[in-house]
Amino acid sequence: MKLWMMLKSTLIVIVIFVNFFPSFVSANNVIYSKEVAVLVYHHIDDQVEGSVTISTKLFERQLGALQRQGYNFITMDQFKSFMKDGAKIPDNAVLITFDDGYESFYTNAYPILKKMRIPAVNFVITKDLDNPTATLLPSLSRDQIRKMRKEFSNIDFQLHSDQLHAMKDGKPMLNNRMTTNGVTETQEDLKQRVIADTKTCMAKLRELDGAKSIDSYAYPFGSYDDFTISYLNEVGVKYAFTTKAGLTSKQTDPMQIPRINAGSPYIRPHSINNLINQSIRNQLK
């Protein structure tokens, strides 16, 4: 009994050490296999503060810490091959994603990703391509997307809707029937609106050669339902990303891919390792 208690205490100490001092963990340590931790960011900026904004220094330190801890960054194409065909991926695989298509991705995040040779995918609100400086936070331009794709082909650009990253009457426009002048949309009206918007978004990104295949979507505000999934499937969306935390395996619904929020100023470099471990523990429960 005493031996068991000593072993149990030792295990607890090891778990605490790994979680709070991950830099001492061997880079060869297999934390998980045949799964992907998808991380999500929004805005990288040294002047603006916000709940989804982090500094360039913190972003680079996060990525560096993940590399030292033995995580391996994969491309969007590797991720899709894994989901579709069960293609081999490295242990401790990580996919970096960004939402909203802010210009700060080009000015602040991209130089770091390019220098460290880390792939990423940005889900773009394509209506903002027409006037990038009109938004509260400046957005990516067509020329900036073309330049990044030409310089570093492992940077992809995918769908975050054209006009549907918006709220009306307090409800996300993607999966709610809208009321205009007292008239509420039918379900068929909503379907045609989502399909038309997604086709527009696809066309704009294909024109820019945004990715080898434009077939992936990040739900605006993380809001969707079974109807949304079926409408997106109908126009060729094969992978869709949520705001729910967790790791992705071959068994994960490709239209409900979880992501771990790494883009908060309160998430220190070692904390992402903790969040990934928490997701693993939650899956084991």
CB 111 within 8 A of CB 148: no
Mean pLDDT, the chain, integer? 92
Please determine, for residue 253, whether its predicted confidence score (pLDDT) is greater than 50.
yes
CATH number of 36-284: 3.20.20.370
Q: Rounded to the nearest 5°, which phi and psi values hold at 197?
A: -65, -40
Share of the chain above pLDDT 90, in %: 86
- The whole-angstrom separation of Cα 285 and Cα 268 is 26
Tens digit of pLDDT for each residue in 156-211?
A: 999 999 999 999 999 999 999 999 999 999 999 999 999 999 999 999 999 999 99
Tokens found for residue 57: 């220094």
Share of the chain above pLDDT 70, in %: 90
Residue 140, pLDDT score: 98
Residue 48, pLDDT score: 87
Task: Identify the residue with better confidence: 13 or 249.
Answer: 249
Residue 153, CA atoms < 13 Å, CB-side half-sphere:
4
HEC readout, 103-126: CHHHHHHHHHHHHHCCCEEEEECH
The model's pTM is 0.89
Residue 27, pLDDT score: 56
Strands 167-168 and 171-172: antiparallel
Residue 121, pLDDT score: 98
Q: What region does 86 belong to: left with phi over 0, alpha with psi -120 to 50, or beta?
A: left
Strands 93-100 and 35-41: parallel
Residue 18, pLDDT score: 43
Considering only CA atoms, which of 119, 110, 41, 42 is closest in space to residue 80?
A: 119
- Rounded to the nearest 10°, the torsion over CA 188, 190, 196, 200 is -170
Please determine, for residue 264, whether its predicted confidence score (pLDDT) is greater than 80.
yes
Question: Could you give the angle at the alpha carbon of 271 between the alpha carbons of 267 and 273, nearest 5°?
Answer: 140
Residue 285, pLDDT score: 72
CB 79 within 8 A of CB 35: no
Tens digit of pLDDT for each residue in 62-89?
A: 999 999 999 999 999 999 999 999 999 9
Q: How confident is the model at residue 24 (pLDDT cuts 50, 70, 90)?
A: very low
Tens digit of pLDDT for each residue in 119-149?
A: 999 999 999 999 999 989 999 999 999 999 9
CB 36 within 8 A of CB 254: no
* 92-112 mean pLDDT: 98
Considering only CA atoms, which of 157, 163, 164, 241 is closest in space to residue 207?
A: 157
CB 39 within 8 A of CB 272: yes
* 33-41 mean pLDDT: 98
The structural domains of the chain, with segments of one domain joined by +, span: 36-284
- Rounded to the nearest 10°, the torsion over CA 43, 171, 177, 233 is 30
